[in-house]
């Protein structure tokens, strides 16, 4: 393979990885933007999305087959289920803690994350489950570079979801309410916005996006595992920070950028795939030293 081929192949790999990161990072950033909470459980909701999608697909495959129709239906159902679970978690675990010290709510979020991961571990005996689909390996050949149709559809689906989210946040009343709450919750309440409902909506959308990424990852990698949300959660957080936490276009940009950085980074001599995670966390730490507001983030002025 020539140098250009490697560049192009890694571009394809990086874009798909980046789409997953971006979808998960969106939920992080939306929740952080609206209630300033780092939702540690977010990566586990991504994992849960994949597992619920797996269960639904194994029921649906008898009627709809293992191909795109079945995957799409199970993705929609899983997104709804996980989204509702996200709202439930927010109501039960986070709502009562909003006025408590920051440390308490962070520990609460951590506990929720551990509960979700270990519950799935107990249910699956910690085994990898084969996410069996019937998509074939056809694709486009561009010289020595090979891109499967599956990869193209997944990147396309992620793009559709992100564009839909952008339009929702910027063109609808609900989106306007979300942006308003991120700026001043009390003023919103005085203006007659049902703040709790909008926060619930934010959780619903954020977690269902993570769930969609989970199913896509299951489809792409072909196996799912209870621990798959841990590293992706961390990477998604890194993406959100790269783009500027709280900023929705920033999360998309950050996710794609991190995906590309990772897939190109592993091509650098001496940085093999085993160092991939060290590479990304290294980026996170360097970023926090030199530009903690990220690319599109605004300098935050803490008010008292």
Q: 153, 118, 158, 112: which is closest to 133 by C-alpha?
A: 153
Q: Which of 143, 285, 291, 298 binds other proteins (CB under 8 A)?
A: 285
* x/- letters, 100..139, toward other proteins (CB under 8 A): xxxxx-xxx-xxx-xx--xx-xx---x-------------
- Residue 227 makes CB contacts below 8 A (sequence gap 6+) with 47, 117, 121
Specify the residue, 96 or 136, whose C-beta has the smaller distance to other proteins. Answer: 96
Question: Pattern 54-93, binding to other proteins, x per CB under 8 A?
Answer: ---------------------------------------x
Least separation in angstroms between CB 49 and other proteins:
20
Q: How far apart are the C-alpha atoms of 74 and 59, rounded to whole Å?
A: 9
Q: Determine which residue in the list 2, 3, 99, 301 makes contact with other proteins, applying CB under 8 A.
A: 99
Size of the site for other proteins (CB under 8 A): 42
- What would the x/- binding string for other proteins be over residues 229 to 268, using CB under 8 A? -xx--x--xx--x---------------------------
* CA atoms of 97 and 296, how far apart (whole Å): 29
CB 210 within 8 A of CB 49: yes
- Rule CB under 8 A: choose which of 268, 288, 291, 298 binds other proteins: 288
Q: Which is nearer to other proteins, 101 or 192 (CB)?
A: 101
Q: Which stretch binds other proteins (CB under 8 A): 147-155, 158-166, 178-186, 279-287?
A: 279-287
The site string for other proteins over 212-231 (x = CB under 8 A, - otherwise) reads ------------------xx
Residue with smaller CB distance to other proteins, 101 or 269: 101
Q: Are 282 and 242 in contact (CB under 8 A)?
A: no
CB of 136 to other proteins, least distance (A): 35
Q: Of 59-67, 77-85, 207-215, 276-284, which part binds other proteins (CB under 8 A)?
A: 276-284
Q: Which is nearer to other proteins, 44 or 209 (CB)?
A: 44
Q: Which of 270, 274, 299, 301 binds other proteins (CB under 8 A)?
A: 274
User: By the criterion CB under 8 A, which residues form the site for other proteins?
Assistant: 38, 93, 96-97, 99-104, 106-108, 110-112, 114-115, 118-119, 121-122, 126, 230-231, 234, 237-238, 241, 274-275, 277-278, 281-282, 284-285, 288-289, 292, 302, 304
């Amino acid at each position: 393979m020539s140098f250009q081929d490697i560049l192009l192949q890694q571009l394809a790999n990086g874009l798909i990885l980046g789409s997953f990161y971006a979808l998960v990072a969106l939920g992080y950033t939306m929740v952080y933007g609206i209630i300033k909470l780092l939702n540690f459980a977010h990566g586990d909701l991504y994992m849960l999305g994949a597992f619920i999608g797996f269960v639904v697909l194994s029921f649906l495959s008898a009627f709809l087959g293992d191909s795109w129709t079945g995957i799409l239906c199970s993705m929609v159902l899983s997104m709804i289920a996980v989204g509702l679970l996200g709202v439930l978690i927010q109501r039960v675990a986070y709502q009562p803690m909003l006025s408590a010290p920051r440390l308490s709510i962070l520990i609460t979020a951590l506990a929720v994350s551990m509960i979700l991961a270990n519950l799935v571990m107990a249910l699956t005996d910690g085994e990898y489950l084969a996410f069996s689909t019937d998509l074939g390996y056809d694709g486009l050949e561009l010289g020595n570079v090979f891109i499967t149709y599956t990869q193209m559809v997944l990147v396309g689906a992620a793009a559709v979801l992100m564009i839909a989210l952008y339009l929702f946040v910027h063109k609808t009343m609900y989106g306007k309410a979300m942006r308003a709450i991120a700026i001043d919750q009390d003023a919103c309440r005085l203006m007659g916005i049902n703040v709790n409902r909008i926060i619930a909506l934010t959780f619903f959308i954020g977690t269902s996006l993570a769930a969609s990424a989970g199913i896509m990852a299951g489809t792409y990698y072909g196996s799912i595992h209870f621990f798959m949300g841990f590293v992706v959660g961390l990477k998604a957080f890194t993406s959100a920070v790269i783009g500027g936490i709280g900023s929705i276009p920033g999360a998309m940009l950050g996710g794609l950028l991190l995906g590309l950085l990772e897939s190109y980074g592993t091509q650098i001599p001496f940085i093999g795939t085993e160092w991939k995670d060290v590479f990304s966390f290294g980026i996170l730490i360097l970023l926090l030293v030199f530009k903690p507001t990220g690319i599109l983030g605004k300098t935050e002025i803490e008010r008292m």
